[in-house]
Chain A
Amino acid sequence: DAKTTQPNSMESNEEEPVHLPCNHSTISGTDYIHWYRQLPSQGPEYVIHGLTSNVNNRMASLAIAEDRKSSTLILHRATLRDAAVYYCILRGLSSGSARQLTFGSGTQLTVLP
């Protein structure tokens, strides 16, 4: 299965942008890149996903490298509520995980006031 690598933890100041990196060097052409986050004492929550082009939604932006071997989740203005574990997940038929989410250890984001 295609794997993802993320830093264990990151810190950000409130109201500043946050760039959360993810490496996925063995990604295949049909794998989608998904991001979920898990706030304390809650279930995971969908953030964004993309295939090749950069994507934006009300929560975040996803920047995908041209070779697709890495991606970056961008929170434009971090708030205290964004403190969570962020998971970068590949989904697609080639990674065998089309119908399930295979979670890694994620990145624990701490937002400082």
Chain B
Amino acid sequence: KAGVTQTPRYLIKTRGQQVTLSCSPISGHRSVSWYQQTPGQGLQFLFEYFSETQRNKGNFPGRFSGRQFSNSRSEMNVSTLELGDSALYLCASSSSGQGAGTDTQYFGPGTRLTVL
């Protein structure tokens, strides 16, 4: 079974631009979560989608948004990019999404975003 894929792997943008990152979950997985990883803040949860609905959201400004399609693929968008948005953006999928604390999350390799 193919793993979680993320595109693009690397991206360079300038301040003020917007960016869209894509994530394809493992086949059959309906829950997709996004995380941001920076050297200063570590790994932080952005949001989670399940069956095309945002179910959980982390503490990030409204410039960060996402969506999920009927095939469970997900995109996240960052508008009006700031230098501090430079980070590794990771996508993770899980099968049940039951929220019982037992489901395993499978991560993709991430998209490395650099904002100049």
Contacts and interface: CB of A to CB of B under 8 A. Distances in A.
Contacts of B97: 99
Contact of A32 (B43, B101, B105, B106): B101
Contacts of A11: none
Contacts, number: 62
B75 to A, nearest CB: 17
A101 B102 CA distance: 11
A9 to B, nearest CB: 15
Interface string B22-57: 000000000101010000001111001000000110
Contact of A43 (B48, B55, B56, B107): B107
B33 A105 contact: no
A30 B42 contact: no
Main secondary structure of the interface of A (DSSP, over half): loop
Contacts of B107: 42-45
Interface stretch (A16-24, A60-68, A71-79, A90-98): A90-98
- Could you say which of A30, A32, A45, A98 has the most chain B C-beta atoms within 10 Å of its C-beta? A98
23 contacts: A30-B101, A43-B90, A43-B92, A43-B107, A43-B109, A44-B90, A44-B92, A44-B107, A46-B105, A49-B102, A91-B102, A92-B100, A98-B100, A98-B101, A99-B55, A99-B56, A99-B97, A101-B43, A101-B92, A102-B45, A103-B44, A104-B42, A105-B42
